[in-house]
Each structure stands twice: as C-alpha cells, then as structure tokens.
Amino acid sequence: METATAVLAQRIGAVIRRASKKRASDWWYSPHMAATSSAIAERLPLADLILEVRDARVPLSSKYELLKNFPSPLRRIVVLNKMDLANSSRTKEWMRYFELTNCESFAVNSHNRESIKQFLNFLQAKVRELKKMDNSCSTAAIMLVGIPNAGKSALANSLHNIGRISAAEKGKLKHAVVSSQPCETKDISSLKIASNPNVYVLDTPGVLPPDISDFETGSKLALIGTLRDSLAGKKQLAQLFLSILDSGREYKQWENLSTSGSGRLSVDFREEYSGSSEIETRRKRQYPSDHTQDFIVQDVRRVLYESISSTCVNLRCRKEVLRLIELQLAALRKPFRIPLELGEEDACIRVSEKLLNLYRIGRLGHFTLDSIPNPKDIDLHDTS
C-alpha cells in the first residue's frame, strides 16, 4: 500500500503536470521566460564560469534543464544554496555524490557572511586557475543560472557586498531584486564581486522547464516554494509537509517542549506568572499576529510533537496518517492564534499558509527531500 506522503505527492504532482502542459499560469514558461531562456543560452558560451544554483533541499529536483547541452564540466559548478534549510549530513552526502559523478559542487548559505566569504575565496581561486589556463588577465564573468526561487539574486547580492568590502571599493552598492515569490527577477544584471582581476556575476531570471512530467519532482518543487502555492493549493502543500514530518524523526528534538498534557501554550504561562517588570515588558512586545516569533514557533513545535507522540498511528496506514494530519491542522489554530470567528475553511487555509512559511524558513526542522541515487543510474552532466 502506498504511504500517505506518496499519495499526497502524486496528487500535487498531477496538478503541477497538468498546469505545465496547459501553461495554466501567466508566468509558467511565458513568452518572457522563453525569451529569457534564449538570452541565457546565447550568453552561456561567453561566461568564464557557470554557477548552477540549486536548492540544497532538492539537489536533483532543482536541476537546470537549459544546461543539458552545455559541454564543459570544467567551467560549471553546482551550487547547493540554502544549505541552512537542508539536513547537514545529507548535504555532505550529496557533495560526495557529486564528486563521484565528476561534478564540482559547493554548498553555501547566501545569508551567512562567513559562508559567503568562503565561497568568494573559492570562486576567485577558480577564476585565477581558469585565467592561467587561458593565459589571460582579462575581466572574468560568472553566470548564475537556475530555476525560480533558488536564491540566485540573494547570492549575487551577498557576493557583491562582501566582494566590495574585501576590495575596499567605494561607491553606491547595486542590488539584484530579491523576493520570496518565484519569477520576480526579470532581467539579466551584472554585479562586481572582486578585483585583480575584475570579476562580475551575471544574475539571471529563474527559468522553469517547459513542462514537469515527473509527479515527485513537481510536488517537491511546489513544497519548497519554487512554484506558486495557488497551483497546488496551500492546504494540500501543508498536508504534504505534515506527512513528511510525521513519518520522520525531526519532531523528536522538540520533546523538551511538551507540557505533559496541560493544554497550555507557552504564552499562557508568561501571562499567568509574569511577576517581574522585565517579563511584563517582554510580553507586551509580543505580537500574536507575527507567527515567526519564538514563543509562537515553540507552541507550534509543541503541538506537533504532542500530536505525533501521543497517538498510536500506524505510519504505513494511509487513512490513519491522513486523519492525524487533519487533527494537526485543526489543533494548530490555537498556537497560530487564528480568530475563533473565522470559518473552518478559511482558518485551515490561514494555518496552512503560516505552517508552510515556518517550514520554508527552517523553523520546523531541516529537510532534504531528494534521495541520493546510485551514481551508476544517473549522469549529472546530462540533466535531461
């Protein structure tokens, strides 16, 4: 019998497949995206280095289809961005896998200064190596390519900021457009990241493949936010995330948050026992509408932990897992402070939206969704 996760992934994947086949979106491989693909393809041979930016949570599902005809592995590096959101041990395994398949890779967190410094030093060494091979000292161009929402623009901005500081350059900083929504970068932009020799990164818009036929790939890309939530539905995506959480071990680290059935939220304790002015002042600075605050995140984790650990659910029984997920979505209304007067359907959508956001920013654990295949089964230089 198929697991709940497999069934939910198939449902979402089928929706994504139909949407891609019918172009059921004003941004899925639109004329603008097709023109962008042509512009990128024309510039690829001119770049000194190609950085294929993938999402570390889905190192294989986030591959960039336009590179399948790119001939030179020496000038191409797979960048596993958002490493802070993925399982660190699994990322190391993926790095070893890429090495086994003769594909150079580098894992990075575009929002971490030290991580960017290490990456910049790596890139400068690569550029010097390439220039030595070409016997050239000219300006180097590094092209960032990838699917939407892989973090290319954030990575370009961070490299630009750190690079200018390292080179002690003055002048107004340029910035590539960064958004949590996919397909917000519209044009190819250039940002300087190093001097002696001068090195520029070309930030390009994210490009989706013309269609996504594989159900599993489509569901994973939808879950991490590569595709807009309106395609698959927020509730359906939240259900998929909960099925993954329920069947894994990530939730067990929240055991210390359990209130042993008291039914109270952490904010309730603050309100009842706030005896000092310091605690009272801190309480007043809490905003229940902001679900990313620590005290709300803690309550969400506690509810999820207790819902999983206190029920004897057979994870192999699809119906039992789906029933647990419905109970979790209902139970999460309290920690998310959803107004009681809100209708059941609207409340569920609100919970799903907040839950997905916490997952995507790493507040509910670190998940790597792609399994590592046998190196004999796939050639990463053939991304078709």
pLDDT digits (tens, 9 = 90+) for 110-131: 999 999 999 999 999 999 888 8
Q: How does pLDDT run across 65-97, given as a tens digit for each residue?
A: 888 877 666 689 999 999 999 999 999 999 999
Sign of CA dihedral 158, 160, 164, 169: negative
C-alpha distances in Å from residue 382, one per residue of 54, 70, 221, 327: 15, 9, 20, 44
pTM score: 0.86
pLDDT of residue 143: 96
> Is the distance from CB of 67 to CB of 204 less than 8 angstroms?
no
Q: How does pLDDT run across 275-317, given as a tens digit for each residue?
A: 445 544 555 456 677 999 999 999 999 999 999 998 888 888 9
Tell me which DSSP letter residue 180 carries: S
Q: Give the amino acid at 93.
A: E
Select from 97, 105, 43, 101 the least CA-distant residue to 77.
105
pLDDT of residue 195: 85
| Mean pLDDT calculated for residue range 225-249 | 96
Tell me the C-alpha distance between 307 and 323, whole Å. 11
pLDDT of residue 37: 87
Residue that wins the pLDDT comparison between 75 and 21: 75
Q: How does pLDDT run across 175-189, given as a tens digit for each residue?
A: 555 445 544 545 788
Helices (H), the chain: 4-22, 31-43, 88-100, 113-134, 152-166, 215-224, 229-232, 234-246, 266-273, 277-284, 294-309, 318-331, 344-360
Q: Phi first, then psi: what are they for 105, rounded to 5°?
A: -140, 165
Q: What is the CA radius of gyration of the chain?
A: 23
